[in-house]
Structure 1
């Protein structure tokens, strides 16, 4: 029989082996379900830009550049899917193994939770929101894994984590306000300081904004396609609806005006005014007939509408946010973009099993962004009192940034798909498991 010290050494080793087996099974399951990845319309537009040799800022030009770079590995969706799956399981794997190395049985929970539909059902869907979330997960878990290592290893891990955070912002520039929270964790690692995080927030956001401008329009020379004005079009439509006064800088026919004010608005997506009948006449006139989209006229009309009708603006934004957090929105993508009337992978048993599990959970809170936002808030609160310094810092870093990220959609959201809150799903799972793995001593309260 091994002595007690031998048994204490053996426990982490057995945990790590068990965790490694679960991680390998999870990665294999992901390949079995999704390979070569589910192409979406957004992804198709990005991939077509590779063939055209052009880059625009409607979708992230960094994703175009990256996809072109890795495409030879598995042309089409395959290369990007492999990147998604790898970053997904590396993120959960690094954290699981870090916990297992310290003998934390909760390490076994992470791979199991990563295989549940709220998280795994999007891991093979080619959306930049998925890559953004997996990169930030890997950034945070890499920092956690090196937080008690010698200085050279720790600094290397921190640099890698910061690069991944910046890459995430380049994929999703609306993460500018959420990124400083995660950066603060990566920089300080084991000590929570709201004061320092607040001091870092403004310069970090300004610096990240500068990086986005430099990379998009300097290094990659992306064409300006004015994605910010989609927010303004959506807001103008919402304010027009709630104020019952046209806010667009164009005149409509009597029937168009009646539709704009009474029938067109839905707090779901701006596409209603862009490409969905019968209200696509809005962008038809604003963009194609009058040529106003992308001009200061839209910005001026937007600002004037908010100043003159602030209550209508708040009604519109509140309606959108409630829909985003609580409604039955698009979650798992299953359509074949080349044959829209057909389902992708219709003859694949593993994929269909995931779709069935997803469909069972679809009416439940587990596939609502609001549930995961609330979970992140709860994890943040619990981490202050129930974890050690290291665990509390990690939980506050991931769940704090996820909370800010989701809440930012109250001002900039133009669609309410589940994917836009995917970072909160991964953050709540990772942060929650780390919190319950804490030493049980009260963490130092934020200063």
Structure 2
């Protein structure tokens, strides 16, 4: 049937068919813990900023029309995911890069990515919006046509949604937005660097105002989680008197009960076993908490850096055991009374395979991060269209992953969904053109070193387990 079609039509049709298959296979999507919490806001009509209010407000539109459950949001992120990948693959096929086009479509089926993309959660929404924006621009750029105002409007809406749907999305969105829409090409890298910084600062300043004034989200105290996580890490390493904002007796009790962790902050959340530390912070102004956080960092930089590097290693899954929690995609919806259903049992088998691959070095965010760095070192964005797009994607991935060095409180694999997709897409685009062999060989050796050291750690370190509860023991 496809033999008589143009190459771009073949890949566009293939992406559409795969989209339909994915919708049927995973329907109605998996309701994560965050999904249930957000849907509770949709049902009650009371919104807060712990989870992105833009996603809850969008979800409320389908709920108001009588379409209950997670199906509408799952359909949205699946359609955007395959639309973006399909447009990119079709653009590559039209330009003659058919192997690259096939690789793009295959990447959309890569189990560690697809398994997590089946969760109706902010990370999947962000990744889908960004890949859709990338696909629209790629379709125009590979044909050497201007993006046009209609496509530009669509791209801006997608980028804006991605920006608001995750608190730290600005690190991924700012470089991608500049790379996709700013004129001049990457040869004007100095001006683009300034523009990326300006976009990031504007987004950081405006996002809280948009959440509060446009989406009507009440403050939840989520901003204090990062200071608490870091102050606990400092106190664990530098002693109970290192962070005087919380009494030394509280830090000593936390230490005796082994509450502190560089992997995630969840032991301190309300309802968990170490939530009593919240009593020492309740009612404190946010400015006071942030000031104490900064003082602790300045007073104990070694303890802070040790804590942050340990966390970055955990979330990037470099030197970790093979079975490290939060790598296996969730196959069943969290039990709830809101009508959020669970997909069929076929998803359980699929996610076992996805989890094995995600736990392996091939599924580690650190390997994708290294690949993105290699793209930045090898690409010629001023000369080759595919390389210009590759640099935009690689910068987005690198900036997002690097941000976890300083702003991250958990190590879920889903946080890296966009970064890993963008990194591997950038590598596919890079390989559409011959590369300088000597530099490419060095990059390949570094990638092999990352993979081998990751494998060694997985084989030698004691296993923890795959479930979330293993991290809270």
TM-score by length of 1: 0.86
Instruction: Quote the residue 1:52 is aligned against.
Output: 44
1:277-426 maps to which residues of 2 (within 5 A)?
Answer: 277-283=272-278, 285-287=279-281, 290-292=282-284, 295-326=286-317, 327=320, 328-331=324-327, 332-338=329-335, 345=342, 348-349=345-346, 351-384=347-380, 388-426=383-421
Instruction: Quote the residue 1:43 is aligned against.
Output: 35
Task: Provide closer, same or farther for how the CA distance between residues 182 and 436 of structure 1 changes in structure 2, counting only shifts above 3 A.
Answer: same
Q: Is the 8 A contact 1:12 1:103 kept in 2?
A: no
Instruction: Quote the residue 1:228 is aligned against.
Output: 223
3-state SS of the aligned residue for 1:122?
A: helix
Task: Provide closer, same or farther for how the CA distance between residues 108 and 358 of structure 1 changes in structure 2, counting only shifts above 3 A.
Answer: same
Instruction: Quote the residue 1:129 is aligned against.
Output: 123
Deviations 1:34-89 (A, max 9, x none): 11010011111111111221221111111111111133474211011001101110
User: Bigger shift: 175-184 or 371-380?
Assistant: 175-184
Q: CA shift at 1:277, angstroms?
A: 4.7
Structure 2 gap segments, 5+ residues each:
438-473
Q: CA shift at 1:262, angstroms?
A: 7.4
Deviations 1:392-418 (A, max 9, x none): 110111111111011101111010111
CA distance in 1, matches of 2:343, 2:45: 33
CA distance in 1, matches of 2:336, 2:214: 36
CA distance in 2, matches of 1:36, 1:413: 30
Matching residue within 105, 109, 112 for 2:106: 112
CA distance in 1, matches of 2:140, 2:9: 20
Matching residue within 137, 142, 156 for 2:136: 142
Q: CA shift at 1:164, angstroms?
A: 1.6
Q: Does 1:20 align with 2:20?
A: no
Q: Is the 8 A contact 1:22 1:112 kept in 2?
A: no
CA distance in 2, matches of 1:441, 1:240: 49
Structure 1 gap segments, 5+ residues each:
1-9, 443-447
Q: CA shift at 1:101, angstroms?
A: 1.7
3-state SS of the aligned residue for 1:336?
A: coil
Deviations 1:203-225 (A, max 9, x none): 21232234414421222222112
Task: Provide closer, same or farther for how the CA distance between residues 421 and 180 of structure 1 changes in structure 2, counting only shifts above 3 A.
Answer: same
Q: Is the 8 A contact 1:129 1:420 kept in 2?
A: yes
Q: Is the 8 A contact 1:12 1:101 kept in 2?
A: no
1:146-225 maps to which residues of 2 (within 5 A)?
Answer: 146-147=140-141, 153-188=147-182, 191-192=185-186, 193-225=188-220
Task: Provide closer, same or farther for how the CA distance between residues 152 and 221 of structure 1 changes in structure 2, counting only shifts above 3 A.
Answer: same
CA distance in 1, matches of 2:303, 2:195: 34
Matching residue within 54, 66, 69 for 1:62: 54
User: Bigger shift: 228-237 or 52-61?
Assistant: 52-61
User: Bigger shift: 224-233 or 425-434?
Assistant: 425-434
Q: Is the 8 A contact 1:190 1:393 kept in 2?
A: no
CA distance in 2, matches of 1:248, 1:405: 32
Q: Is the 8 A contact 1:77 1:126 kept in 2?
A: yes
Task: Provide closer, same or farther for how the CA distance between residues 218 and 148 of structure 1 changes in structure 2, counting only shifts above 3 A.
Answer: same
Task: Provide closer, same or farther for how the CA distance between residues 62 and 224 of structure 1 changes in structure 2, counting only shifts above 3 A.
Answer: same
Matching residue within 73, 82, 94 for 1:89: 82
Instruction: Quote the residue 1:3 is aligned against.
Output: none
CA distance in 1, matches of 2:295, 2:91: 53
CA distance in 1, matches of 2:101, 2:38: 37
